Structure 1
Amino acid sequence: MNKTLLSAVLAVAALSPFAAKADDASSNQLNNFFVTGNLGQSNYRVGGISDKSDVFQSVRFGWRWNNIVGAEAGFTSLGQAKDKIGNATIGVQPKAVLLGVNAKYDFYGPWFVSGHAGYLRSRSVGSVTVGDVRQTERSWNNGWYGGVGVGYNVTQNVALAINYDNYHVKYGRGGSNQSQTNANVAAYSASVEYRF
């Protein structure tokens, strides 16, 4: 009985460092999941529009291998760009689904730099408003996005950052008898990231 108890105690003592390391590894892997919310201002870089700025919103979620590089998916609303021509107001309002890669690097204590880029599928609503009458047309197109940021890890799970992003969106079908407008939309935002 004593030999069995002694063998069990020695086995537990010998295996406990490996169990602790496995527990740390699994908690570190769990911390690699994240969700990020951005709020800021968009700036349309396209000619012929007088009102080029509006509210920018984005939410992304994903996972990073070793807390450095990984995949992400999300949704963004780039606000609305408008122009007034006589008594008519012309506007375009793109929203997009995102799929890409992201990276984060802690460079000095809690400070970090981040970047992300990838594919977007936009749905833009063009509108013409005259008085109380409004007519709209929708357009679906492919594009790309990319951005960088710098931030601070407030806790192990929460980070704050300021960011610059660029979204390349299109409006129109681009066929032989239809025109297509390309626009780069810059977005300046603050973000909150939560790591699970």
Structure 2
Amino acid sequence: MEFSMQKTLLAAALAVVSLSPLAAKADQSSPLNNFFVSGNLGQSNYRLGGISDKADVFQSVRVGYRWNNIIGGEVGYTYLGVAKDTNGFVSQSVKTRAAIIGVNAKYDFYGPWFVTGHGGYLRSRGNFQVQAGDISARQKAWNNGWYAGAGIGYNVTENVALSINYDNYKVNYQRGDQPIPRLKANVSTYSAGVEYKF
């Protein structure tokens, strides 16, 4: 599964790179660079029943390209943090990471101010752990889902932009060869972001 996901991400990255000369030729009049890399840091909030500690650190890194500096594609990696629950001497937790591939858009609406939006497919990995005294059990599950989000920001320079963002990740937790219940969770995130165009 990990190797398959790596091949998918590599294919998507190569597709973006291979299309860039055509986009650059169609957009030679634009003074702005269209390749970008962005990083986000903030807080995640799991909407998952039975979990008492739902908030943790959120981190995300994305790379992509925008045609005409407005709309384009992206690939990235997201860490959604850990959700925990403790009941007496029994504790359980789930840690979620995801690879993402999707579309993104950015629109300058008033001077250096802009709005953004993005969404697409995610491949998540959930790491489960149950601890009862000295006894512990772990399990991993890979599943498909989707993500979407929006933000508002400010272009500090032609190449550097700052933003605040809200994103939602629809995550499934299930393994066909294990008797764990099917769970679906929305993980909402609030973050600050930095984007660099090159």
TM bin, normalised by shorter chain, reads 0.7 to 0.9
Assess, with a 3 A threshold, how the Cα gap between structure 1 residues 57 and 166 changes in structure 2: closer, same or farther: same
**1:164 — aligned with what?**
166
**2:190 — aligned with what?**
188
Q: Aligned-pair distance for 1:55?
A: 0.1
Q: Name the aligned partner's letter for residue 127 of structure 1.
A: Q
Normalising by structure 2, report the TM-score.
Answer: 0.82
* Structure 2 SS opposite 1:49: coil
Distance 2:171 2:66 in 1: 27
Distance 1:128 1:27 in 2: 58
Q: Aligned-pair distance for 1:119?
A: 0.1
Whose radius of gyration is greater, 1 or 2? Answer: 1
Runs of 4+ in structure 1 over 4 Å off: 25-30, 174-178
Residue 104 of structure 2, aligned match among 87, 102, 105: 102
**1:19 — aligned with what?**
none
Which consecutive residues of structure 2, in runs of 5 or more, have no partner in the other structure?
1-23
Query: Percent of aligned positions with the same letter in both sequences?
Result: 63
User: Does the CA contact (< 8 Å) of 1:145 and 1:168 recur in 2?
Assistant: yes
Which consecutive residues of structure 1, in runs of 5 or more, have no partner in the other structure?
1-21
**2:50 — aligned with what?**
48
Distance 2:182 2:176 in 1: 5
Question: Aligned pair count?
Answer: 174
Q: Aligned-pair distance for 1:85?
A: 1.8
Q: Aligned-pair distance for 1:107?
A: 0.1
Distance 1:168 1:174 in 2: 19
Normalising by structure 1, report the TM-score.
Answer: 0.83
Distance 2:89 2:59 in 1: 30
User: Does the CA contact (< 8 Å) of 2:32 and 2:69 recur in 1?
Assistant: no
CA RMSD, Structure 1 to Structure 2 (Å): 2.2
Q: Name the aligned partner's letter for residue 60 of structure 2.
A: S
